[in-house]
C-alpha cells in the first residue's frame, strides 16, 4: 500500500529559497527567523543552483573572522554548496526514506526538469507512514496511552 505513494503527495511547496545574490547576513536572519537549518538557492528561472545551510554560514563567518575580518560577509553564491542531492516529485516515498538513512540528510529539494518544485523532509516521510498505519498498530507498538 505505501509503495505507491509519491514524493509529490507529501512534499512541502512554496519553501523558503535564496537567490545567489542574497547577502550572507540576510540569509542568516532568514534562517534564524524560521524553523529551518538551510534552504535551496534558485536563479531567476527557479532553477536549483545550490543549497545554503547554517554550517555554510558558520564556515564563512569563522573563515572571515580568522583570515580577513574586513571582508566578512558576501553573498549566498560564495558559500553555498553547489553539488545538491535531489529527488523527483514522482519518486517513491520508500526509496526516498532509504536515501534519508543512507545519505544522512534532513531534507531533499524536489526538482522537476531542473526547477525547484518543493522539498521533502524526514518528517514528511514519517507523516506519510503514519497516514497508512492504523491507531491499533501505533498502540501495539507501545505508542499512545492506555
Question: What structural domains and CATH numbers belong to the chain?
Answer: 2-129 (3.10.580.10)
- Residue 23: strand pairing partners: 75
The residue that leads in pLDDT, 43 or 146, is 43
List the end-to-end C-alpha distance of the chain, in Å, as a whole number: 28
Return the residue matching grid coordinates 580568522.
Answer: 66
Share of residues in the chain with pLDDT > 90 (%): 61
Query: In sequence order, which residues have a C-beta less than 8 Å from that of residue 60 and are 6 or more positions away?
Result: 24, 74, 78, 79
Torsion of Cα atoms, 89 then 17 then 75 then 46, to 10° = 60
pLDDT, residue 71, reads 55
pLDDT, residue 139, reads 53
pTM of the model: 0.80
Query: In sequence order, which residues have a C-beta less than 8 Å from that of residue 94 and are 6 or more positions away?
Result: 2, 3, 5
- The pLDDT tens digits of the residues spanning 103-115 come to 878 899 999 999 9
Check whether 141 has a pLDDT greater than 70.
Answer: no
- The pLDDT tens digits of the residues spanning 30-51 come to 999 998 889 999 999 999 999 9
Amino acid at each position: 500500500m505505501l509503495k505507491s505513494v509519491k514524493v509529490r503527495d507529501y512534499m512541502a511547496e512554496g519553501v523558503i529559497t535564496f537567490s545567489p545574490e542574497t547577502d550572507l547576513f540576510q540569509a542568516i536572519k532568514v534562517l534564524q527567523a524560521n524553523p529551518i537549518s538551510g534552504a535551496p538557492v534558485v536563479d531567476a528561472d527557479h532553477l536549483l543552483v545550490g543549497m545554503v545551510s547554517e554550517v555554510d554560514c558558520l564556515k564563512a563567518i569563522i573563515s572571515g573572522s580568522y583570515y580577513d575580518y574586513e571582508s566578512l560577509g558576501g553573498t549566498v553564491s560564495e558559500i553555498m554548496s553547489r553539488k545538491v542531492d535531489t529527488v523527483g516529485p514522482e519518486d517513491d516515498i520508500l526509496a526516498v526514506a532509504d536515501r534519508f538513512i543512507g545519505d544522512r540528510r534532513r531534507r531533499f529539494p524536489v526538482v522537476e526538469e531542473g526547477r525547484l518544485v518543493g522539498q521533502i523532509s524526514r518528517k514528511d516521510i514519517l507523516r506519510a507512514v503514519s497516514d497508512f498505519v492504523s491507531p491499533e498498530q501505533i498502540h501495539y507498538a507501545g505508542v499512545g496511552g492506555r
